[in-house]
């Protein structure tokens, strides 16, 4: 039963990452470009499309308060009054007193009056935002990051429902830090050769993907995901998949020689010893593990050749070359 629950949880996690798209931060798009395109569309009186661009810009950079009033004005002219009035409220709540704020306040009052008398508008989701935000923080505190009803799902619900404000960036930052801490812990233990189940190893990928969705992805995330997935395949003796994944990791991050080592190890365990040694001779010629593999390969060929390689290894260990 416990195993069945684990499988169902992993299926949910993988489905979450499969349909995910960037939520907050630079992976949503360039905020400046989105604002520029939104302004162009606004000047062309394409207000609905302009509103969509400004909305996306608020997700790309939730801290830019000017975008909210631009969104409000475009949405108002597009007759999207619920969105417009909400955007005005967010802007006024977060903007200090200024001539621009006074102008926006007057526009906001007019928007609220229109909203009360205009039929067919989208429902006000303010109360739902409050409840979903509470669910997000509760899940974050419990460490329920990717499970159903967890922090990632709550944040996605807020974005899909149109939640606005600088708080969105703060929530994304907290979620990004939490998922990275979990995923990086798995990566660190893997590099230290600590035993981890294939389920745990595979759980890192959706965490790194969520980190990317909230603008917190490390630059070598692609390599890390491939490496950990490769370890999972290796533990299950699927050497072909493991070798392909380790190769992907090595090419994505050539400076991390552990990826090359595991690719070579996989080839060796798959019986392709010559190919393994050739790879390691290129990627990590001076690594002692390559020397050990060379000795093992030589011993398999003949006792005399093996003895010669072993003598070289022992000599180089006793008298290492000066650098």
pLDDT at position 298: 59
Contact 204, 228 (CB under 8 A): yes
Contact 162, 58 (CB under 8 A): no
* Distance of alpha carbon 49 from alpha carbon 53, whole angstroms: 6
Domain annotation covers residue 25: yes
* Whether residues 111 and 191 fall in one domain: yes
- pLDDT < 70 positions in the chain: 1-20, 294-323
pLDDT at position 95: 92
pLDDT at position 203: 96
* Whether residues 260 and 179 fall in one domain: no
Residue 29 is part of which domain span? 10-116+128-217
* Whether residues 177 and 102 fall in one domain: yes
* Whether residues 188 and 302 fall in one domain: no
pLDDT at position 299: 52
* Whether residues 138 and 201 fall in one domain: yes
Number of compact structural domains in the chain: 2
Is the full-model pTM beyond 0.75? Answer: yes
Both structure tokens of 18: 């499969």
pLDDT in tens, 205-230: 999 999 999 999 999 999 999 999 99
* Whether residues 43 and 134 fall in one domain: yes
Q: What is the dihedral of CA 169, 213, 222, 199, to 10 degrees?
A: 110
């Amino acid at each position: 039963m416990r195993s069945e629950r684990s499988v169902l949880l992993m299926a949910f996690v993988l489905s979450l990452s499969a349909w995910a798209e960037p939520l907050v931060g630079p992976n949503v798009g360039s905020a400046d470009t989105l604002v520029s395109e939104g302004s162009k569309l606004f000047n062309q009186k394409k207000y609905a499309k302009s509103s969509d661009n400004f909305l996306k810009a608020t997700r790309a950079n939730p801290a830019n308060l000017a975008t909210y009033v631009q969104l409000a004005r475009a949405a108002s002219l597009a007759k999207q009054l619920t969105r417009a009035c909400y955007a005005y409220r967010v802007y006024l709540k977060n903007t200090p007193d200024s001539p621009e704020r006074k102008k926006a306040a007057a526009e906001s009052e007019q928007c609220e009056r229109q909203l009360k008398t205009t039929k067919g508008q989208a429902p006000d989701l303010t109360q739902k935002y409050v409840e979903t935000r509470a669910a997000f923080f509760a899940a974050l505190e419990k460490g329920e990051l990717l499970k159903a009803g967890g922090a990632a799902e709550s944040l996605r619900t807020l974005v899909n429902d149109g939640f606005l404000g600088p708080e969105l960036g703060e929530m994304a930052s907290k979620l990004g830090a939490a998922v990275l801490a979990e995923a990086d812990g798995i990566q660190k233990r893997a590099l230290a050769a600590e035993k981890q189940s294939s389920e745990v190893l595979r759980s890192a990928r959706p965490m790194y993907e969520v980190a990317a969705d909230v603008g917190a992805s490390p630059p070598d995330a692609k390599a890390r995901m491939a490496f950990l997935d490769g370890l999972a395949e290796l533990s299950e003796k699927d050497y072909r998949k493991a070798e392909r994944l380790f190769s992907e990791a090595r090419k994505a991050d050539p400076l991390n020689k552990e990826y090359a080592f595991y690719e070579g190890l996989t080839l060796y365990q798959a019986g392709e010893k010559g190919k393994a040694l050739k790879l390691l001779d290129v990627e990590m010629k001076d690594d002692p593990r390559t020397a050990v593999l060379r000795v093992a390969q030589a011993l398999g060929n003949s006792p005399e050749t093996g003895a010669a390689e072993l003598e070289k290894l022992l000599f180089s260990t006793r008298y290492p070359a000066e650098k």
